[in-house]
Each structure stands twice: as structure tokens, then as C-alpha cells.
Structure 1
Amino acid sequence: MIQRPSYLERLKQVKDKQIIKVLTGVRRCGKSTILQMFQQQLLEEGVKQSQIIFINFEDLANEKYLDYHELYYHLDNSMDESQKYYIFLDEIQAVSQFEKVLDSFFIRPNVDLYVTGSNAFMLSGELATLLSGRYIEVRVHPLSFKEYHSAFKKDPATDFQAYLNFGGFPFAAQLTDEKTFKDYVDGIVNTVLIKDVLQRKQRSDTALVEQIARFLTDIAGNLITIKKIANTLTSMGEKTTNDTVLSYISAFLDAYLFYRCDRYDIAGKKYLSINSKYYPVDMSLRYALLGTKRVNIGSRLETVVFLELLRRDYEIYVGVIENTEVDFVAIKQGVKEYYQVSYSVVDEETYNREVSSLKKIKDGYRKILLTADPGYANDEGIEQMNVISWLLGED
């Protein structure tokens, strides 16, 4: 198993605290494996196997527990009050009214409760109402480049090229046969589109939902409106409406298949609701949805940087200042960082174009230009650094 130390450390920080730990993320990003690693860590710390209860609701053997009454009675009969229990419920969104079970066991002082889910529905509606203030969300992503490189340990540049091309779904990253890799990633995408999108929306327009997913992947890193997406798809022969596109894209976001990045007026310090960027959850989606179609290397690099900023728990926006764009305004605990991403700025004209928007910012926060070029430079407060070094935490 590829190690995920940042997630294990996060779970360790909240272990034994009376709060429900909810691991969310796209299917097959590694949530179940992280739970298994954490269980092993508990055993090494002296917790007995009998104190650990694990149920994966995608396992047919556990089908009867999809009824929340059956699940409750099973868990209740598996415990006694004299011991501490660690309960792990994997892909719990499959259980109808699962929030009632969580609420019941949360109040027990001898229970430490961990759950995973693959769509944001489990953090909305009744759950948010019933468990408000009683859960924390741990967002799990496919492998970061640092995790990927620590697993394969080849030359960083070689690993990075593979990461750019094939992404970081943990199991897929270990597949060396290209056809097997594509079949596996196709399976992830199709499962999300059908189970987490179409079934949830109670619709069957597979062709349209696939076309929207392909289009969003193809234009990753470009500002776009819902109306523009609907008009473009209609012109391509997939007649649709703004409301339909908005509904499906909202479902993509809920299933963690894509992320939206809205705009932020840097000078005016206000959020803008018109035009957004969309990024796929992993680079492998390009391969699954677009095949070997040639993709702008800058778009891929920008996607990797966006996803890394998400992993580092930043709020992320597209910056706007004096009719120019800053790729990312990253905010954490009230502190901002500005990022511009370009594959290479060896050409002076390219460099001047990339830093022009950063030079307009006068607030004193950190300004960073990430490129594939080697080395580090500081040009009047604009730091240029190698993106691989930055991804490995060497900045």
C-alpha cells in the first residue's frame, strides 16, 4: 500500500475525540486504504482487534446492513459497555438514512466513529441538520505528487512526467499495462457518472452527461459560464439547456469528480459570481475522457497546482486585477498567496507576460511563479521556483 502520512497524522490528531470523522472524496481515491492503515496503526498502539469494527457497504456480504435498522442492531450487538470501540463504516452513503445510525452511536462515550463517503450528499440535508457541530470532514484526494514520488522513487522529473500523463489514483498508478490502466480509470469515471450523477438525478441521459464531463476536462483552466457550456454543447449536436448543464455540473462537484474555482477581485477584495474555472479531480480523467488527444501542457500543469493547493487546505480563487488574471489567489487563515503557473518562462517575452499581473498587486503578500524551469529566483518580490520542488515541499 502506498503510504498516506498526512491523512494518518490528521486522523491521529482527532482520535478519541467525541466527534464523527468523515472522510470524503471521489471513488477509489484511497479512503478505504487510509482506514485500513489507521486500523493497523491502532493495533500497533495496543488496541485489540475485537475493539475494531469495520464494514464496507460495497461488499455484497454486508448487503443486509444497508437497512439502517439492521446496521444499528448489528453494531449494538457487537459491543459491550466495558470496552472502547473504533467503528469504521466505509461508503456509508449507500445506507438509507445512515445519519440516524451515526447520531445514535455518536452519543456513546465508548465509541470513536469514522465514516467514508464518495459524494457530498452525505454532508448536506439531514446530516448537516442532525449532526451540526458534531462531525469534521477530512477531504481525501488521489495521490499528491509527493506521495506518488515516494512510492516509485525514480528520478523526480521522470516521475513527474508520468504523474502529469496518468495522474494519481492509488491503484491505477501501480498498473504498468496501458490498456489495463485505461480500463480501470474508465471504470471509475463510468461508476461516478452513472451511480453518483445519473442515479442521483434519476435521469438516464448518459450521452449528455459524458459529453459535459469531456468538455469540462478539455477546457480545464479556462474561464467559462454555464450558458457558454450549454451553447457549445448544443452547437456540437447535444441539445441542452442552462438548467440541465447546471444540474449535472453540480452533481459532478458533489461527487468530487470536478472542482470549481470562482473569481476574486484582488483590488476590490470581493468575490465575483460570473465566470469560473473547472478542474478534474485527477489527471487520469484526461486520458479516460479525451484519450490521447494532445493537451496543452500549461493546462495540465495548472490543474496539478490547483489540486495541490486544495490538498494544502487553501481556499482558491482566480485572481482579477486591472483586467488581467492571476491564476490562483490562495487563502489560508486570512493570509493570501498569489500563484502564476507557466510551463517555461525562459523566453523573456513569456516571462514578462506571466509576471505582469503579479506586479500590479501591491498588498505585500507572497507572489509565486511556478514553472518547470530549474532553479529559484526573486525578482522584486516575485519568487520563481521549480514546480517539482514546490510539489515536494522544498520551497
Structure 2
Amino acid sequence: MISRELYMSRIRPFIGNELIKVLTGIRRSGKSVMLDLIQRELVASGVNEEQFISINFENMSNAHLCFAVALHEEVTRRVNCIHGKAYLFFDEIQEVVGWEKCINSLRVEFNCDIYITGSNAKLLSGELATYLAGRYVEFVVYPFSFEEFSELYHTVFPNSDSREMFTQYLTNGGMPYLSNLRYAEQPSHQYLQDLYNSVVLKDIVKRNSIRDVDLLERIIAYITANVGTTFSATAISKYLKSEGRAVAPETILNYIKACEDAFLFYRVRRQDLQGKKILTVNEKYYIADHGIREAVFGGNMKDINLIFENIVFMELLRRGYKVTVGKAGEKEIDFIAEKQTHKLYVQVAYLLASEETIRHEFGAYDTIRDNFPKYVVSYDEFDMSRDGLKHMNIREFLLSEQWN
């Protein structure tokens, strides 16, 4: 287990207060481990473990508690046996029918500190927003960054260097459990395939009552094959029609939204830098973990430029940036990342192997006149920075704090 300080540093200021801490993210991204890390921190601060009530609702032994009234009765009984503040940890809370009412009631009734996790973005919509408006704080837990991956990989293979670790990261991705498989190719791929099936069946099909699973899988396959490529629901509709499936663009958008809610894909809007407006057509999508893409669909090394983009995009999200794709006339900026007063531009390429490629990547910034940092990120080791534009090797970029 690693410390995941990126998340702990954000959660720590809220530990012990009345706000409900909600940890969301794709299935098996490490949310349960975050609850363990929070408990360790509490113990280190002097809290007695007897003050903890921890329930995982995917454990069949807790199936009888997957109803709001039953859960409330059980927690009430146990809280009444605790001296002082109670610390409540509920893992995969969306399995509890009517959980919003239960959590709100516990918050009102008892001197308690509540932490919940869930694998669906709808966790914080609808009823919860009504019951707990202004009384919760959300933290999205992503698969491992390259830095986190390297930290854990190094405990398994102490003599590995940065290049070797990045090669493994390119194919395996950042799902935390892979370290238990020692990153062996076949077991890792099997695990990621099973994880993908679990996300599709439990978090997308079941939660959204989707009947046409074949259509869903075709749409997922299309988006996965085209990560980082601009396209529209109409384009997918035309593609499916060519394969003998007539599907309305509205249906496709609904299916994509279900995938986004399960944190499988992230949508990136395009921003017109000259007109200073957000465009609503031809958005891009990236997958939460590129290792899933390799295990289920393959082709990461063939599409390495897109995978580099995917990795950089997810790193920007992890660090708290709001990300858009930039359009400047006929040119496109891969990413515009904004966070409070911070802003940076990032171009991503595999190799700057020709003068034409160099001109294309650096030239994307020709019409951008502001003074915010502008990066070109690639696999090249040699520093090609020029004219105030910073070039960085992708490993260096992913590990660097200078742009955060």
C-alpha cells in the first residue's frame, strides 16, 4: 500500500468535521484503500479503532443491510455503544436502496464523521443533492498516476529504471491491484478484462437498465478505438449504420452518458480560443485507464500517440485541472488546463522525428499571445525547447511538480 498523498492532502483538512466525505471513481481505482488510509491517519492522531464502523456493501455478508431502514437500525445500535465521536465508513454505498435518507439521518442524529464511496457519478445527483446540499465534499479517485505506479512497481522490482517502468505503465495502465499479480502479462490482462466486464455489467448495464448490451459494447469499442479523436454522435450513428445497426444519435448520447457516469470515459469539450467560447460539437473522449484499453481491445503501441494523450489528460485531471481542447483558427491545441489562477497549454506527440512534426507541434502556439506556460511533451530525451516554449520528455512531465 502506498500513501496516495495527492488525495490525502485534499481529504485531510476535512477529517473530523461535519461534512460528508464522498469518494467516487471507476471501480477498483483504490477507493477502499483510501478509506483504510484515512483510518490509519485517524489512529495515528489518537482516535481509538473502536470508534470505527466500517461496512462494505459488495460483501454478501452485508446484503441484509442494503436497505436504508436496516442500515440505519444497525448503525444506530453500534453507534450507541461508542464513547465519543463515531467514524462511519461505507464502501460502495450505491448498493443500499434509499441510502441518501439513511446517511442524512445519521448525520443529523449522531456525533459522527461520515465517509462514503461509490462507483457512479449519479451518486451526487438527484436526491443526494436535495438532502445534503452544501453538506458534502467530493473527491474523485483515479487509477495510479505514473508516479504512483512507479512507487509501487519499484517495491516489486527494486532494480527497475524509469524507462522500464514507463514501458510497463504504457501497457498495464494504473489499476492498483496489478502489483499483486507482479504485473505479469497474462494475469494482468485477465484481471483488466474482468474489471471491464464488471464496470459494463454492474455500473452501466444494471444501473441504467440497458437492454441492448450489444449496441452498448459497439459504442464503447468505437470510443475506445478513437480516444483523443474528435467525433460526434452522428459520426457513430453513421458508422453503426454501415454495420447494419440503425441507431439515433440521441440513443448513442444516452449510452455514452451512462459510460461517463461509471467513470469509464471522460468527455473533453473544445474551446474556440479566438471566439472565446465552448464548442458543442466534435468533442473528444478519453478512457479512465489505458491498461483496460490494451487488455480488452489491444493496439496501445500502434496508437501510441493517442495513448500518450490519454495519459497526459488523466494526469491533468488528477492534479485538479479543468481541461478543454483548444481551437485556434485552423490549428488545434491538445489541452488547455485551468485551475484557479493557473493555466497551461500542452501539446502531446510520440516523437518529434521530423522537422515537419516539430513545426506542427510548436507551431500550434503561433497565434496564442498570452504568457501562460506552453509545453510540448514527447518521448524524445533531447530537450528541444525554443522561443519560450518548453519541451519535456513525457516521463519528466508526469513526474514534474514545476507545472502544477
| TM-score range normalised by the length of the shorter chain | over 0.9
Please name the residue that 2:326 is paired with. Answer: 319
SS in 2 for 1:291: coil
Letter in 2 for 1:157: R
Please name the residue that 1:74 is paired with. Answer: 74
The separation in 2 between residues aligned to 1:394 and 1:243, in whole angstroms, is 41
In the alignment, structure 1 segments of 5+ residues that lack a partner are none
Q: Indicate which of 203, 214, 235 corresponds to 1:207.
A: 214
Change (3 A) 1:173 1:266: farther
Letter in 1 for 2:41: Q
In the TM superposition, what are the counterparts of 1:322-361 in structure 2 within 5 Å? 322-361=329-368
Shift of 1:334: 4.1
Do 1:371 and 1:386's aligned partners in 2 also have CA atoms closer than 8 Å? yes
Letter in 2 for 1:68: A
Q: Indicate which of 362, 372, 386 corresponds to 1:365.
A: 372
Please name the residue that 1:230 is paired with. Answer: 237
Please name the residue that 2:293 is paired with. Answer: 286
1:189 aligns with 2:196: yes
Worse overlay, 6-15 or 109-118: 6-15
The separation in 2 between residues aligned to 1:288 and 1:204, in whole angstroms, is 25
Please name the residue that 1:10 is paired with. Answer: 10
Letter in 1 for 2:100: E
SS in 1 for 2:352: coil
1:123 aligns with 2:129: no
Please name the residue that 1:112 is paired with. Answer: 113
In the alignment, structure 2 segments of 5+ residues that lack a partner are 155-159
Q: What per-residue deviation string (whole Å, max 9, x for no partner) do you get for residues 219-239 of structure 1?
A: 001001011012112212343
Please name the residue that 1:150 is paired with. Answer: 151
Shift of 1:385: 1.0
Change (3 A) 1:326 1:45: same
The separation in 1 between residues aligned to 2:298 and 2:315, in whole angstroms, is 24
SS in 1 for 2:247: coil
Do 2:178 and 2:188's aligned partners in 1 also have CA atoms closer than 8 Å? yes
Do 2:64 and 2:70's aligned partners in 1 also have CA atoms closer than 8 Å? yes
Letter in 2 for 1:164: L
Shift of 1:70: 0.7
SS in 2 for 1:88: strand
Please name the residue that 1:24 is paired with. Answer: 24
Q: What per-residue deviation string (whole Å, max 9, x for no partner) do you get for residues 108-167 of structure 1?
A: 562111000000111111111211111111000000000001112221111111111110
Please name the residue that 1:98 is paired with. Answer: 99
Q: What per-residue deviation string (whole Å, max 9, x for no partner) do you get for residues 270-314 of structure 1?
A: 111111000010011212331357531100100000000000111
The separation in 1 between residues aligned to 2:123 and 2:76, in whole angstroms, is 22
Please name the residue that 1:133 is paired with. Answer: 134
The separation in 2 between residues aligned to 1:159 and 1:40, in whole angstroms, is 29
The separation in 1 between residues aligned to 2:92 and 2:292, in whole angstroms, is 22
Shift of 1:68: 0.4
Please name the residue that 2:174 is paired with. Answer: 168
The separation in 2 between residues aligned to 1:292 and 1:2, in whole angstroms, is 30
Do 2:309 and 2:348's aligned partners in 1 also have CA atoms closer than 8 Å? yes
Change (3 A) 1:367 1:328: same
Q: What per-residue deviation string (whole Å, max 9, x for no partner) do you get for residues 65-94 of structure 1?
A: 101001011111111374111110000011
Do 1:214 and 1:289's aligned partners in 2 also have CA atoms closer than 8 Å? no
Letter in 2 for 1:131: L
Shift of 1:394: 5.1
Letter in 1 for 2:165: D
The separation in 2 between residues aligned to 1:36 and 1:312, in whole angstroms, is 22
Do 1:197 and 1:252's aligned partners in 2 also have CA atoms closer than 8 Å? yes
Letter in 2 for 1:256: F
Q: Give the CA RMSD over aligned residues.
A: 1.6
The separation in 2 between residues aligned to 1:246 and 1:295, in whole angstroms, is 28
The separation in 1 between residues aligned to 2:237 and 2:301, in whole angstroms, is 24
Letter in 2 for 1:224: F
Shift of 1:386: 1.3
SS in 1 for 2:347: strand
When normalised by structure 2's length, the TM-score is 0.94
When normalised by structure 1's length, the TM-score is 0.96
Task: Report % sequence identity.
Answer: 38
The separation in 1 between residues aligned to 2:379 and 2:166, in whole angstroms, is 10
The separation in 2 between residues aligned to 1:378 and 1:179, in whole angstroms, is 40
The separation in 2 between residues aligned to 1:53 and 1:195, in whole angstroms, is 26
The separation in 2 between residues aligned to 1:254 and 1:156, in whole angstroms, is 34
SS in 2 for 1:171: helix
Q: What per-residue deviation string (whole Å, max 9, x for no partner) do you get for residues 333-358 of structure 1?
A: 14321110011114222110111121
Q: What per-residue deviation string (whole Å, max 9, x for no partner) do you get for residues 175-211 of structure 1?
A: 2332222221111111111111112221232222111
The separation in 1 between residues aligned to 2:74 and 2:213, in whole angstroms, is 38
| Equivalences, count | 395
The separation in 2 between residues aligned to 1:165 and 1:142, in whole angstroms, is 14
